[in-house]
Structure 1
Amino acid sequence: MNELRKDYILDRWVIIAKERGKRPHEFLKEREKREKRGLCFFCPGNEHTTPPEISRIEEDGKWLIRCFPNKFPATATEVKTFEENLLVRMSAYGRHEVIVETPEHDTCLGDLNVEHIAKIIDMYSERLIENKKDPRIGYVLIFKNKGKEAGTSLEHSHTQLIALRTVPTAVREEVDASKKYIKENGNCPFCDIWKMEMKSERRIFENKYMVAFAPFAPRFSFEAWIMPKRHVTSLEFLNEKERFSFAEILKKLISKLNSSMNYPPYNFYLHVSPKKEDLHFHLELCPRMSKWAGFELGSGLVINTMPPELAAKHYRE
């Protein structure tokens, strides 16, 4: 039976179309060809083609991970606001950074070892701390686009960071819904969610400090969430053991997705708590195996043909 499912705390619904569903192998597509065409700005030896470096992590005297401002930022350097009746405009003040995850052009994030991924997470943490120091910044979003269908324009494996004046709507809705749940139940909803999901068919992986599961009402086929067991509001507050556990789970999840689904396009993003709020930090992995069409755009409802229970089973196998 096809089902309407509601998000745990948000007023957001999806249709799980089991009767239109595919078996996991039917989602397989031809892998995008990784062809190095001309100069790659992110490869070693081409550092002069990027904006001046902000930070780096080295190994054996050479850079392993680099961070620098995006050459074509989505943000602005000025702070201005304009209002006229229904028309509100403001400058998109903030910062837009690129984190190159590896010097190797043809290596994907899931192919890196856990120690390397842990260092990438250290870089994420450093950039969160640094950008939050600006009192004009309201929120810092770290996200990854992998593959053309996920919005990437450069093949070399990288993550992006955008720091904004305002808290994005999706995050604000999570914060408000979380507050409402805490007021009514006395507990953090995400703490309750992970404990419940570790006993469900949607459980994927678990280690001492982290969990991964397929959410009950996913918008994307094979969608998966990672979160710490301890109530932590942002990545930089994880201790060293928790960060390494996070790297282990992320490696395991993306490696399984890559090997079983032929390196599909995907996005992931980190939802950290805005300043002075108490949102449980988590990562949402969103494989891009189907396109939203007229129904999704017109209704705000997403049709997902892969039940999360089946997706979780596929990750576990």
Structure 2
Amino acid sequence: MQTDLSIPLRFNPKTIQDIADFSFFIDELCTCDKHSPNLYRCRNPHLPIPCGTFTLNTPNAYDAIHLAHAAIAYFDRPEEALNPTQKQALMEFRKIIHAEGKSTTLHKLGYKNAGKAVRKANMLQILNIFNRLFFFGALRLDFKWEALNDPGSYNVPGRTRLGRCRPPNSSCAASLIELDTVYTNTEIQGLARHPGPTLSRLGTLLHEVIHAYIQQYACNNCEMRATSIGYGGHGRAFQMMAARLEEVTESLFGDMRLDIGAGGSFLGDWRACRVLPSRCDLAVWNWEVSARSVGT
């Protein structure tokens, strides 16, 4: 990524394609961990994540990029290579996907006001599946339906908030994931059995679980925090995981590819952070797939 020192003030992107095009125009040293490992310094020693070991125990003790690499190594592998916990979670989610009838969770997630139709217990069930399938089962998660776009609620002017992840605090050890009761990404096309609002809400849910993973385990004192975690949490680590998860969900869930809205979220954060992805980043982030996404 490149910092705002190299970006003209007149540059005001309207789409993520504008950001991608300008990033190719600016030819600077890539700051990713592969090309500039010397930049990844921290006054607090990070705990290592040994290859093939999927156990995280200490909150906020790991480098964000290492966390992303570890998660990708965990979930981005052939189905037959998944561990028993992952296979069980996958079986449970496929059962939810293929359940028929108007009383099923995914059918109700397609309602205009899903907050009145889908119980918290059903949403926690899906969160638990995502946790075990993609994030080692290491996350502490809670859920709440919330009117995130009502007048007076905290929001970014001009943006519709689809979801939010509140970090753990002294009174709650879990990340609280909230979904708006009504609003969804209307640009997401539905499938034969699952309408657009259902797919939008599932994608937003997974989007917020990525935030929870970074919130709970990434170090907040690193010199590269502005790019690794980023303003709003949509930096390099988030983008890396989101890109691979969109591919993996399509592979594991059949034709149900979940749009996580990573590119749209990066664009939404632009005015506050003014940080460009590098060419190396763009090759990994796969923005052309989610160019029309609207994340939170």
State the TM-score, normalizing by the size of structure 2.
Answer: 0.29
Q: Which has the higher helix share?
A: 2
Tell which structure's C-alpha radius of gyration is larger. 1
Q: Which has the higher strand share?
A: 1
Which gives a bigger RCO, structure 1 or 2 (Cα 8 Å, sep 6+)? 2
